[in-house]
Every structure is written in structure tokens, then in C-alpha cells.
Homo-oligomer: A and B are copies of this chain.
Amino acid sequence: MIVTEINRLFGLKYPIFQGGMAWISNGQLAAAVSNAGGLGVISSINEGEEALRREITTCRSLLHNPDFPFAINVMLMSPQAQAAADIAVEMQVPVVITGAGLPTPYMKKWLAAGIKVVPVVPSTGIAKMAARLGACAVIAEGGESGGHVGDLTTMVLTPQVADAVSIPVIAAGGIADGRGVAASLMLGAAGVQCGTCFLTAKECGVHANYKQKIFQAKDIDTIVTGKRLGHPVRSLKNAFSRQFADMEYNTNLSDQEIESFGAGALRRAALEGDVQNGSVMAGQCAAMLHEEKTAQQIIVDMFAQAEHVLACAGKFLTEEESHA
């Protein structure tokens, strides 16, 4: 078994969080991940407040043990953030993951309610501020991840955040197998967060076309769009993302015209299965995923490989000098 501060802090069998994916991460997926020994995460970006309450209730009803932790993800830039923040307290959600900024306005209330808060951070500056606010851990998310992305990659962000804060760091972005888990631990992380992997889980209700598109992806098949608008997003290359990219370089188009073109695109792909004209958000590790597995099998396979890789770390070490 791989045991770190993250297992102890959150009561997990495996130090792995599921990424909170808008319109995709629901109570069923979160419960599957939590039942498998990781931390399942419900996205609060969905059909609204009632949907969030329903998914939390669903997750709880599916947990094999009421003590298994789970989380909701609060996307701070979203108009739904305040409502989601309140629901976390009202429904006694054990963990809140925050994204896209700092959860300053909500921290006091959450901490008073005994909620563990884990912000996703794209830089050392944001990580330090999160730690000062009372976060119990941070997720250092590299720009190879899917959906909304930062600039720094997992390889450079993880060690820098580990140096910048004294709370545990969870690495995210580009982690799809046990090698990524082992590498993250070497970089100074105490755990990992995986989004794209769990997107393809059997218990994930995303449209079957979306999963197929991920299984067919090659290494070079993702693209980042939206930089011009200030919120870059990584998705698989398709008619939608190519046209979006073209539009960004067209200065005859206003930012608003481009925003309008993108509106509803994730929902179109994730719920309706239109993987040509919708946004198929996924990380660069999409090409490393080949088949649908249960959340449990994803985690078991990943950590078996990580244990093997870590156990073999000594093979590189020798007392001999090798220079000719």
C-alpha cells in the first residue's frame, strides 16, 4: 500500500482524488471513487442548486460506509458559487475543493462547519494565500490537465508548491498511471488528483461518444483554446475546438462573439454526445487511456503499478562509479 499524509488527513485507502468535472462528476461517480478508497468529488456546475443537493444525497446513499469521505467542487468564478458554498455547510459535506481563484469569502463559514478545504492552485503565490486562509492541503494542477488550465506544468509546479507551503500537496495534470503517481511523490506531492481517467470510468455517466473519443485520442490530440478570453481550456481536437482556435486569431470578431460560440459546448458533448460540435474537455493523458474500467479497477491498477515502480527505485542506485 502507498500511505502518505493524504491518506491520514482524509481517511482514504489510496491518496487519490477524483477531479471535479463540470456537468460530468455526479453523485454516482463520486460514490464509486470513494467506495474504491479514493476521494470522490461532485461538481457543483450542473443544472443548479437542486441538482447539487440531489447528487450529494445520491452519493451518500451509494456509499458503502457512511464514514467514507467525499467532496463537492466549488468553481469560484461561477454564479453558482455562493449557493454551492452554502449547500456544503447545510448538507455537512466533509470536503470542499475550490477552483479558479481563492475561496476567501467562504472560508470562515466552512472551517466553522468542520469542512476540510482544498483549493486547486496554479502557482506558488495562490498556494501560499490558500494555506494562509486555512486550507488543509492544495492541489497543484499542471496545464496538461483537461478543462480550465493554468500555464505551469505538473513537473515544475509540484516541487515549487511543495517548497512554498507546509501543508500537503496533491499533484494533478497528466497523471494516468502508476508512473505518474510515483513521479508525483518524487516531486514532493503526497497524493494525486485525476480527472480524465475517471471520466472514462464505468460509473461515469458522460455520453458514450465522449468516452470513445478519449479512447481514440493520440498523444498530440488535445488543444488549448480561450487564451484570448483569459480562461484557457484544454479539449480534444475536433470541428468545434479547431473553429474556436481560428476565431481567436480573428481580430474582426469581438470577445463576446467568441464567448457565444463556446457557450454550452461542454454540455453538448458530455450530455448529448455531439463530440464534433461540442467541447470534449480532456487532459493530455487522454492517449494513455484505452478501455472502460470501474473506478475501483482504475485505482487498483494505478497504485499496483505505482508500488512496483517505487519498489524498483533502488535499481538505479549503485555504489559503483560508472565513468570510463
Contact = CB atoms under 8 A, between A and B. Distances in A.
Interface of A: 1-4, 7-8, 11-13, 37, 65, 67-68, 123-125, 142-144, 151-157, 159-160, 173-177, 179-180, 182-188, 218-220, 222, 228, 248-252, 283-285, 287-288, 307, 309-311, 313-314, 316-324
A313 B185 contact: yes
A152 B1 contact: no
30 contacts: A1-B322, A3-B318, A4-B316, A11-B323, A11-B324, A13-B322, A13-B323, A124-B287, A125-B218, A125-B219, A125-B220, A142-B155, A144-B156, A151-B284, A152-B284, A153-B174, A155-B180, A156-B285, A157-B219, A159-B179, A160-B287, A179-B186, A179-B187, A182-B313, A185-B316, A249-B249, A310-B316, A310-B317, A313-B314, A314-B314
A323 to B, nearest CB: 4
A229 to B, nearest CB: 11
Contacts of A284: 151-153, 156
B124 A219 contact: yes
In the A-B complex, list the 6 residue pairs whose CB atoms are closest, starting with the nearest: A13-B323, A155-B174, A313-B313, A183-B183, A182-B186, A153-B153
Contacts of A157: 219
Contacts of A182: 183, 186, 313
B317 A307 contact: yes
Interface centre among A154, A173, A252 (most CB of B within 10 A): A154
Contact of A183 (B144, B187, B319): B187
A13 B311 CA distance: 24
Contacts of A285: 156
Nearest to A190: B316
A314 B316 contact: no
B155 A183 contact: yes
A42 to B, nearest CB: 20
A252 B184 CA distance: 44
A309 B13 CA distance: 24
A1 B317 CA distance: 6
A246 to B, nearest CB: 11
Nearest to A223: B151
A261 B37 CA distance: 55
A282 B159 CA distance: 18
A156 B174 contact: yes
A152 B217 CA distance: 13
B160 A153 contact: no
Interface centre among A186, A218, A222 (most CB of B within 10 A): A186
A159 B177 contact: yes
Contact of A316 (B2, B124, B180, B316): B2
A250 B252 CA distance: 10
B2 A152 contact: no
A114 to B, nearest CB: 16
